[in-house]
Amino acid sequence: MSGIAPGELVKKLGGCYASALGIDLTALESGERFKWLLAAVLYGTRISESLATRTWRELAARDVNAPDRILATGWDGLVAILDAGGYVRYDYKTATKLMELCAALMRDYGGSLDALHDAAADARDLESRIKALGKGIGDITVGIFLRELRGIWAKAEPPLSPLALAAATALGYLQPDTLDPDRALARLRRLWTADGQAATGFADFESALVREGLRLRRQRASA
């Protein structure tokens, strides 16, 4: 097993990305969950984490981080904000995606992601409903979004991220032959609680593993 305890790994690498952005996913107001979905859409594109973060902060600074505000800003306005944040490569496509997403969320769920969650029959249906909000919302974006809602939304149970799986194996939390994501996820949850951590905080451990997985991927790419 790794020489570093799960809780120490979180302290070293950081936990949930939402918390780092100042988003409170446990808040009663569902708008906080939408802010994180907006961030997940930005992170889900093949663009640097720093640019995605800068663009999210640009949207937040202009108070364009709620479905009605995004729709009121319009496609041209969104493109301008995305460009200001450095999200130039995918500005047109992302603006279209956000407009479609917000229109569908307002139309089908009254603008509330909590209502979407409540309408879902189970974890897989929840994933399907999020994808159905707009063209281009795929497994990566949904995985990023739901990963940090484990323990907050009852039906938030996405598969373990391949990045987290790779990092957990490299760090010795998992055996190299642990290929089943479900078994790997169960094992990591046991390690987290065995370290004296609250089960509801597991998303911090998973996010720390994703951070390490990204570092390992960059390291391989530059080798």
Quick check: helix, strand or coil at residue 102?
A: helix
pLDDT at 2: 58
Contacts of 167 (CB under 8 A, 6+ apart): 209, 210, 211, 212, 213, 216
Burial class (CB within 10 angstroms; exposed 0-12, middle 13-18, buried 19+) of 151: middle
pLDDT at 17: 96
Contacts of 19 (CB under 8 A, 6+ apart): 204
Per-residue pLDDT tens digits for 65-80 = 999 999 999 999 999 9
Cα distance between residue 193 and residue 154, in whole Å: 18
Picking from 177, 141, 175, 176, the residue whose alpha carbon sits closest to that of residue 161 is: 141
CATH number of 21-147: 1.10.340.30
Per-residue pLDDT tens digits for 134-153 = 998 999 999 999 999 999 99
Picking from 154, 143, 216, 214, the residue whose alpha carbon sits closest to that of residue 181 is: 143
Give me the mean pLDDT over the 182-205 stretch.
95
The answer to whether residue 182 scores a pLDDT higher than 60 is: yes
pLDDT at 1: 45
Task: Give me the DSSP letters along 1-41.
Answer: --SS-HHHHHHHH---HHHHTT--TTSSSTHHHHHHHHHHH
Q: Structure pTM?
A: 0.94
More confidently predicted of 3 and 14: 14
Give me the mean pLDDT over the 46-50 stretch.
89
Give me the mean pLDDT over the 14-41 stretch.
96
> Measuring CA to CA, how many Å separate 108 from each of 35, 144, 145, 201?
18, 22, 19, 31
Alpha-carbon 51 to chain mean position: 15
CATH 1.10.340.30 domain range(s) in the chain:
21-147
pLDDT at 161: 92
Per-residue pLDDT tens digits for 90-120 = 999 999 999 999 999 999 999 999 999 999 9
For the beta carbon of residue 172, count every other beta carbon within 10 angstroms.
12
Q: Which residue has the tokens 């307002």?
A: 106
pLDDT at 181: 86
Picking from 174, 132, 127, the residue whose alpha carbon sits closest to that of residue 155 is: 127
Cα distance between residue 156 and residue 146, in whole Å: 5
Phi, psi of 73 (to 5 degrees): -70, -35
Q: Which residue has the tokens 């570092």?
A: 215
Mean residue pLDDT across the chain: 94
